Amino acid sequence: MIEWLENLGARGLSILNEIGRAGVFLFWSVVGIFRPPFKIMPIIKQIHVIGATSFTVIFFTGAFVGMVLGLQGNYTLRMFGAEGALGSAVALSLVRELGPVLTGLMVTGRVGSSICAEVGIMRISEQIDALECMAIDPYRYLISPKVVASIISLPLLTAIFNIVGLMGGFLVGVRLLGGSEGAYLSTMKSSVLAADIRMCFIKSVCFAILIVWICADRGYWVHKSRNGFGAEGVSRATTHAVVISSVAILVADYVITSLLL
C-alpha cells in the first residue's frame, strides 16, 4: 500500500516537474524571438516547412470537410425546410470551430511530429550540447524561428481551409444538390460576424503556439523522459507529442470558445 502511494507521489511529482520544465521552455523560446542576432532566413525556411508544405493536405481536408458539411447540412436542413440557411451553417461551423481545430490537428500530425523528431534527434546525437558549447542559445537558434513561423503560418492555413471549405460546401450544396446560390452566399455573408473571424484568428494563433511548444519540448527533453534513449526514445517522444498536442488543441478549443462566446 505504501509502495503504491510512493509510486503515485513520484508520478505526480514527475508530472509537475515536466509541466514546470515545459513552462520554462516556452518562456525561453519566446524570449529567444527578441534576442539578437535577428535573422529572417531561418524564419522563412520554417514558414516553408510548416506552412507551405502543409498547403496540399489543408486544401484537401478543407475541401472534403466543406463538401461533407454541404451534404449533411442540406439533408438535415431540408427536414426543417430551411435549405436556405445552408450557407450560414457551413460558414459558421467552419469559421468558428472546424477551420482552426482541423487545421491545428492536421498541422500537428504533419509538422508537430517532424519538429519533435528533428529536435529529439539533435538532442540524442549531442547536437544541442554542441550548440550550447559554442555558446549558441539553442532556444533562439532552433525553437524561436519555429514559433514565429507557426504563428504566421497557422492563421493563413486556417484561412485557406475556411475558404476552400466554403467553396466545397457551395459545390455540393448548391451545384450538386441544387440549392439556391443566392441564399447560400447571402446567408453566409450575413451570419459571419467580425467576432467570429476574431475567434478563429485567436484560436489558430493559440494552436500554433501549442503545437510548437509541446512538440519541440518533448523532443528537447527526450533524454530526461523515462527510457528516452536512442531512436526508440525519439519515436516514443514523437508519439507522445502528437497525442498530447492533439488533445491540448481540443481542450484549448473548448476553453477559448467558452471565454469568447
Partner 1 sequence: MTCENCCIELIGIEKSFGDQKVLRGVNLPIRRGFTTVIVGESGQGKSVLLKHILGLIAPDAGQVIVEGQDVTRLRGAELKKLRTRFGVLFQGAALFDSLTVFDNIALPLRERTRMLAAEVREKVSLTLELLDLSGSEDKYPAQLSGGMKKRVGLARALQLNPEILLFDEPTTGLDPVRSHEVYQMFNETQKKLGYTSIIVSHDIPKIFNLADYIALLHEGVIQICATPEELQRCEKPLVRAFVERVMGKMYSSEIEDLELAAEL
- Assess 37 for contact with partner 1 (CB under 8 A): yes
The CB-of-136 to partner 1 minimum distance in angstroms stands at 5
Question: Residues with Cβ < 8 Å from 225, sequence gap 6 or more?
Answer: 218, 233, 236, 237, 240
Residue 177 near residue 67 (C-beta atoms within 8 A) = no
Q: Which of residues 139-198 bind partner 1 (CB under 8 A)?
A: 141
The CB-of-120 to partner 1 minimum distance in angstroms stands at 13
Which of 178, 230 has the CB closer to partner 1?
Answer: 230
Which of 121, 156 has the CB closer to partner 1?
Answer: 121
Which of 126, 181 has the CB closer to partner 1?
Answer: 126
Residue 94 near residue 65 (C-beta atoms within 8 A) = yes
Question: Residues with Cβ < 8 Å from 140, sequence gap 6 or more?
Answer: 32, 33, 35
The CB-of-230 to partner 1 minimum distance in angstroms stands at 13
The CB-of-141 to partner 1 minimum distance in angstroms stands at 7
Q: Which helix (H) or strand (E) holds 197?
A: helix 194-220
For 41, phi then psi, to 5°, come to: -60, -45
- Assess 79 for contact with partner 1 (CB under 8 A): no
For 180, phi then psi, to 5°, come to: -85, 125
Cell for 119? Answer: 529536435
Which of 45, 197 has the CB closer to partner 1?
Answer: 45
- Assess 239 for contact with partner 1 (CB under 8 A): no
DSSP class of residue 40 equals S
Which of 141, 201 has the CB closer to partner 1?
Answer: 141
The CB-of-13 to partner 1 minimum distance in angstroms stands at 16
- Cα angle: 25, vertex 52, 35; to 5 degrees: 35
Q: Which of residues 117-146 bind partner 1 (CB under 8 A)?
A: 118, 121-122, 125-127, 129-130, 132-137, 141
Task: Mark the segment that binds partner 1 (CB under 8 A) among 116-124, 210-218, 222-230, 242-250.
Answer: 116-124
Distance, CA of 152 to CA of 147 (rounded, Å): 9
Residues that bind partner 1 (CB under 8 A): 37, 118, 121-122, 125-127, 129-130, 132-137, 141
